[in-house]
Chain A
Amino acid sequence: MATVTYDHVTKRFESVVAVNDFDLEIPDREFLVLVGPSGCGKSTALRLLAGLEEITEGNIYIGDRLVNDVTAKDRDIAMVFQSYALYPHMSVYDNMAFGLTLRKMPKEETRRRVHETAQILGIEELLKRKPRQLSGGQRQRVALGRAIVRDPAVFLFDEPLSNLDAKLRVQTRAEISKLHDRLGTTFIYVTHDQVEAMTMATKIAVMKEGVLQQVGTPQELYSRPDNVFVAGFIGSPAINFFEVTVSGTREEMYLDHGCCLVRVPDSKVNDLLPYLGKRVIFGIRPENVHDQEYQPPNIAVAPVRAKVDVTELMGNEIFLHLIMENGKPFLARVDPRTKARPGHTIQVALNMAQMHAFDPQTKSVIRRSDRL
């Protein structure tokens, strides 16, 4: 059990900056998910903590201990790899006991721990098998077991679910969450899958090109993204972005799409006041675009006409691929009762209370009211 602190950590490979001034404090017992597209430096950040890469600049602390110069084996960390990295020539039992044996734990204690862990994971009957005799899901469990049995201060996961099929992934996701509750240890989990991040994390850290973009609870990241990248990365299907001009007056402000005007709700007017007459990036999530016929009551709506391009029935909802009159495509996630069919032109209602606006230069959110 330990807090983990990245203190302005930078990692360069020759001329490439993989991790840039990464500054993050992870409290004890947190389940932090580091998420971002491939090559964003999230795995490198994890490997720096594990001691598998050397830090170029900055410090990493585990608890109060500066670990920059501590070798991987002395950092009290266990890691689950994407490939599982089971030792192919050892039985499951030996795989799990490997770390304990190396640490000179008494045989009896090792046996007890391995069996206890195997029981938790339901792999007791596999202990005598070799990794090649196991299915992907079973290997995954053994890899988890090998980490748990060591009772480390911090658990690291490097995309551990990528090699599982979709069904098993959902199941294992829930199990890892349960495991976190049960062990009460700091988990740091790297993934490119924002769904994994949203479902498992107590905190998410979004990275892009080596730079930390935003840290927060899943809910915070979803409803109050700090910039265009986070807004676009978190949430599936992805948020709709429009380049618009802020027009009108303080009393009656609009976002001008070129083809239609969308009224800015009073709650957002203050934020956008400095941008009057300028361009902004307007973002709205698909679930906040409603078929006007079935829009929920009591929302700040702005009507927009759009042509239906494609409809996708998901069962409990329908995705409408729409085209605005200016030719801009966007996506709506609407009530399945909708009568919209491809080729129709319909009225959709944007729930403007949930709108996001970003500065087109800095790509940062325009949220003036927060700062005042």
Chain B
Amino acid sequence: MILWSIPTIALLVSSFREPTAIAASGWWNAITEPFDFTIDNYEKVLTQRGMARSFWNSVIITVPSTILVILVASFAAYAFAWMRFPGRNVLFLVVVALLVVPLQMTLIPVLRLYVNVTIDQELPLLGGNVFGVNSFPGLWMAHVAYGLPFAIFLLRNFFGALPRDLFESAYLDGASDLGVFFRIVLPLSGLAIAALAIFQFLWVWQDLLVALVLLGDPDLAPMMLTITSLVSSFGSQYQLLTAAAFISMIVPLFLFLALQRYFVQGILAGAVKG
């Protein structure tokens, strides 16, 4: 835990130091007296370098992408695990097969497709195009599509491991498929869904490639994109980079801390005699 935290702490400490101090001594010197911290770095990055706008862009991109994946994947996983329909296994196999398709291979076809379907109108509230390139909905859809195979795979395995008796009991009690899904499956799957949410959130939050390809407009750029451009234009200004990097870490850090209790909690205990 301590070992794991050291780079994070180093980053945090450095981001509050003067540029001259960073250049002159290691970060550990700053945690001994005399203290000499500044918030200038954060001020600069947020106001002059567009990090504030990028932060919101990241949120706008990540949150819907995560929620949509969970929503679609949990419905699909439930169907794959518990509903009987023709071609179920073949379809599931196709989904699993998609796991091995490298994302990079799809970038050009997707971009070409997006160029063709771009709706070149301003999206109200969020900005950018309504769909296609340079649009948030377009990026959401791309992230959802990239995230789905793994999400369906993960949830299907989890749902499939729930005891069959529970479902049958609920059917006999009068629940429909939808009722079983919302009243039995979802409450019992907090663990898997939390894990999936963290995976997907981090993946989208840290994504550079997809955003780089599909979003050209710097006003729409998420933080990863902005930090990259900071690196290329201010490569030597570590104080700004550390501040920017730390801003980009805050949200995943909080997310993880908030959801980690689900990892610990075994919610399924007591379902069937064990």
Q: Are B267 and A87 in contact (CB under 8 A)?
A: no
Closest beta carbon of chain A to B178's beta carbon, Å: 12
Query: A112 within 8 Å of B by Cβ?
Result: no
Q: Are A136 and B166 in contact (CB under 8 A)?
A: no
Q: Which residues of B contact A163 (CB under 8 A)?
A: 273
Q: Which residues of A contact B176 (CB under 8 A)?
A: 73
Show 11 residue pairs from A and B whose CB-CB distance is below 8 angstroms, ordered by the A residue: A72-B168, A73-B171, A78-B172, A86-B271, A88-B188, A88-B270, A98-B175, A99-B174, A102-B175, A131-B271, A146-B173
Q: Which residues does B use to contact A, with CB under 8 Å?
A: 163, 165-166, 168-176, 179, 183-184, 187-188, 267-273
In the complex, what distance in Å separates the CA atom of A70 from the CA atom of B175? Answer: 14
Q: Which residues of B contact A67 (CB under 8 A)?
A: none
Q: Are A99 and B271 in contact (CB under 8 A)?
A: no
Q: Beyond the given A50-B168, A82-B165, could you list 4 further A-B residue pairs with CB under 8 A, ordered by the A residue number? A: A73-B173, A85-B166, A87-B184, A98-B183
Given A81-B165, A83-B165, A98 and B173 touching (CB < 8 A)?
yes
A104 — nearest CB in chain B belongs to which residue? Answer: B174
Given A88-B188, A88-B271, A102 and B172 touching (CB < 8 A)?
no
Q: Which residues of A contact B273 (CB under 8 A)?
A: 83-84, 136, 139, 163
Tell which of A52, A83, A89 touches B267, judged by Cβ atoms closer than 8 Å: A89
B269 — nearest CB in chain A belongs to which residue? Answer: A132
Given A73-B173, A102-B175, A139-B273, A81 and B168 touching (CB < 8 A)?
yes
Contacts of A73-106 to chain B: CB distance below 8 A? 73, 77-79, 81-89, 98-99, 102-103
In the complex, what distance in Å separates the CA atom of A61 from the CA atom of B165? Answer: 24
Q: Are B267 and A88 in contact (CB under 8 A)?
A: yes
Q: Are A83 and B163 in contact (CB under 8 A)?
A: yes
Q: Which residues of B contact A132 (CB under 8 A)?
A: 269-270
Q: Which residues of B contact A279 (CB under 8 A)?
A: none
Report, as a range, how many residues of chain A touch the other chain: 20 to 34
Closest beta carbon of chain A to B38's beta carbon, Å: 50
In the complex, what distance in Å separates the CA atom of A22 from the CA atom of B271? Answer: 33
In the complex, what distance in Å separates the CA atom of A163 from the CA atom of B272? Answer: 10
Q: Are B270 and A134 in contact (CB under 8 A)?
A: yes
In the complex, what distance in Å separates the CA atom of A146 from the CA atom of B174? Answer: 12
Q: Are A50 and B270 in contact (CB under 8 A)?
A: no
Q: Which residues of A contact B271 (CB under 8 A)?
A: 85-88, 131
Q: Are B272 and A77 in contact (CB under 8 A)?
A: no
Q: Are B272 and A84 in contact (CB under 8 A)?
A: yes
- List the 9 closest A-B pairs by CB distance, nearest first: A132-B270, A85-B165, A99-B173, A83-B272, A88-B271, A85-B169, A131-B270, A102-B174, A73-B174
Contacts of A92-148 to chain B: CB distance below 8 A? 98-99, 102-103, 130-134, 136, 139, 146
Tell which of B166, B174, B187, B268 touches A103, judged by Cβ atoms closer than 8 Å: B174
Q: Which residues of A contact B188 (CB under 8 A)?
A: 88-89
Q: Are A52 and B270 in contact (CB under 8 A)?
A: no
In the complex, what distance in Å separates the CA atom of A40 from the CA atom of B7? Answer: 64
Q: Which residues of A contact B171 (CB under 8 A)?
A: 51-52, 71-73
Given A83-B163, A136-B273, A88 and B268 touching (CB < 8 A)?
yes
A152 — nearest CB in chain B belongs to which residue? Answer: B172
A103 — nearest CB in chain B belongs to which residue? Answer: B174
Closest beta carbon of chain A to B89's beta carbon, Å: 14
Query: A150 within 8 Å of B by Cβ?
Result: yes
Contacts of A220-239 to chain B: CB distance below 8 A? none
A83, A85, A132, A136 interface centre (most CB from chain B within 10 Å): A85
Q: Are A102 and B179 in contact (CB under 8 A)?
A: yes
Closest beta carbon of chain B to A206's beta carbon, Å: 25
Contacts of A153-199 to chain B: CB distance below 8 A? 163
Q: Which residues of B contact A51 (CB under 8 A)?
A: 171-172
Q: Which residues of A contact B169 (CB under 8 A)?
A: 79, 81, 85, 87, 146
Given A78-B172, A99-B173, A102-B173, A85 and B163 touching (CB < 8 A)?
yes
Closest beta carbon of chain A to B68's beta carbon, Å: 25
Q: Which residues of B contact A72 (CB under 8 A)?
A: 168, 171-172
In the complex, what distance in Å separates the CA atom of A50 from the CA atom of B165? Answer: 13
In the complex, what distance in Å separates the CA atom of A77 from the CA atom of B174? Answer: 10
In the complex, what distance in Å separates the CA atom of A150 from the CA atom of B170? Answer: 13
Q: Are A87 and B170 in contact (CB under 8 A)?
A: yes
Closest beta carbon of chain B to A133's beta carbon, Å: 7
In the complex, what distance in Å separates the CA atom of A117 from the CA atom of B169? Answer: 18
Closest beta carbon of chain A to B28's beta carbon, Å: 48
In the complex, what distance in Å separates the CA atom of A134 from the CA atom of B273? Answer: 10
B173, B183, B187 interface centre (most CB from chain A within 10 Å): B173
A87, A103, A132 interface centre (most CB from chain B within 10 Å): A87
In the complex, what distance in Å separates the CA atom of A77 from the CA atom of B175? Answer: 13
Q: Are B173 and A77 in contact (CB under 8 A)?
A: no
In the complex, what distance in Å separates the CA atom of A136 from the CA atom of B171? Answer: 23
In the complex, what distance in Å separates the CA atom of A269 from the CA atom of B112? Answer: 94
Closest beta carbon of chain B to A80's beta carbon, Å: 9
Q: Are B165 and A130 in contact (CB under 8 A)?
A: no
In the complex, what distance in Å separates the CA atom of A248 from the CA atom of B269? Answer: 68
In the complex, what distance in Å separates the CA atom of A71 from the CA atom of B166? Answer: 17
Given A83-B273, A87-B184, A88-B188, A73 and B268 touching (CB < 8 A)?
no
Q: Which residues of B contact A136 (CB under 8 A)?
A: 273
Closest beta carbon of chain A to B164's beta carbon, Å: 9
In the complex, what distance in Å separates the CA atom of A131 from the CA atom of B174? Answer: 21
Q: Which residues of A contact B270 (CB under 8 A)?
A: 86, 88, 130-134, 139
